[in-house]
Copies of this chain bind each other. A is one copy, B any other.
Amino acid sequence: MIIILKKSATKEDAERLMAIIAEHGLKPLYMPGSERTVLGALGDERVLATLSLEAHPFVDRVLPILSPYKRASRELQTHDSVVMVGKVPIGPGHFTVIAGPCAVESEEQILESARLVKARGAHILRGGAYKPRTSPYSFQGLEDEGLKYLAAASKETGLPVVTEITDVHDIEKVAACADMFQVGARNMQNFRLLKELGRAGKPVLLKRGMAATYNDLLMSAEYILNEGNADIVLCERGIRTFETGTRNTLDLNAVPYLKERTHLPVIVDPSHGTGVRDMVLPMAKAATAAGADGLIVEVHPHPDQALSDGQQSLFPDQFAKLMEQVARVAALEGRSLA
């Protein structure tokens, strides 16, 4: 429920109302604006109805939040959110590029990767330490050692780091080494993990599941928001369809659809979204033109030797070209990579 206070309402009025909301076991939200203050009340709709909030003298109007996601919705917050990853912003005006290898393979490899993506203008370093793989017999990542190398690469280059988290147990370890948690497609509905990340104090990159609707994705974000963490970036990375010519079907419709409904930033992963190195550049540009807030791209110093996802990882030169061409498209959208 959205409670719009009268212009004359004081901060004390707002606090009194929030106390009432909290007494009834509901979550009050405080959203002061330049013109007037708006409050939110989240929880059991039946309890909400009994409160007769519209009868309070300093309440102007009470509106239901119609979407099933509440805090993620533009109904509650109309302006775009900016999520800070270290000192790097993701949000309006900016176009943020996250780049790096699929997996951390050695200290040398991640250092080399970090240097090369930084030199070509990337803002954030990616690299997996814990790798969820379809087969138990595939390379599963360097795990704790990988985290250490990532931290070293971050320290040397100054790039903030995002890395995947696959289990609640690892939150502390990952938080110590990384600036942003990545929740992969396979864990998008691992609600335990989402809840814990809602209390972990670092931003979260939430990737869309392979069979997740837009609504499912927003509801998963709501799990994190509901625990108090508003620093969430959504990521379209392709869905599973009947088409076998590509690894996934990159659904760029997701960009305008989500941005219409949520204030959270939306980025795109053209590497997993195509699975084909030569398709990454055109789809990166397409994502930019569709209005995305940034990209996450797999780049490897030597893709032909990569332990995973080599076929979709860019060569360093390809990444340089991508940065250059994407910058031009982003400029048309009023966004800067600088």
* A residues lining the B interface (CB < 8 Å): 42-43, 68-70, 132-137, 166-169, 186-187, 189-193, 195, 209-211, 213-216, 219, 222-223, 226, 239-246, 249-253, 255-257, 260, 273-274, 276, 278-279, 282-283, 285-291, 325, 328-329, 332
Contact = CB atoms under 8 A, between A and B. Distances in A.
A192 B214 contact: no
A136 B252 contact: no
Contacts of A133: 191
Given A168-B167, A213-B243, A253 B250 contact: yes
A257 B245 contact: yes
A168 to B, nearest CB: 6
A260 B273 CA distance: 17
A249 B245 CA distance: 16
A256 B239 contact: no
A23 to B, nearest CB: 19
Instruction: Quickly give the copy total for this chain.
Output: 4
A252 B210 CA distance: 17
Q: Which 3 A-B pairs have the closest CB atoms?
A: A211-B211, A286-B290, A289-B289
Contacts of A252: 250, 252, 283, 286
A36 to B, nearest CB: 27
Contact of A213 (B244, B285, B288): B244
Contacts of A278: 256, 260
15 contacts: A70-B137, A167-B168, A168-B169, A169-B192, A186-B190, A209-B211, A213-B242, A239-B243, A245-B253, A255-B282, A255-B286, A256-B278, A256-B283, A285-B290, A286-B290
B43 A137 contact: yes
Contacts of A43: 137
A134 B250 contact: no
Nearest to A216: B134
B244 A135 contact: no
A218 to B, nearest CB: 10
B245 A213 contact: yes
Given A213-B245, A241-B239, A283-B256, A135 B222 contact: yes
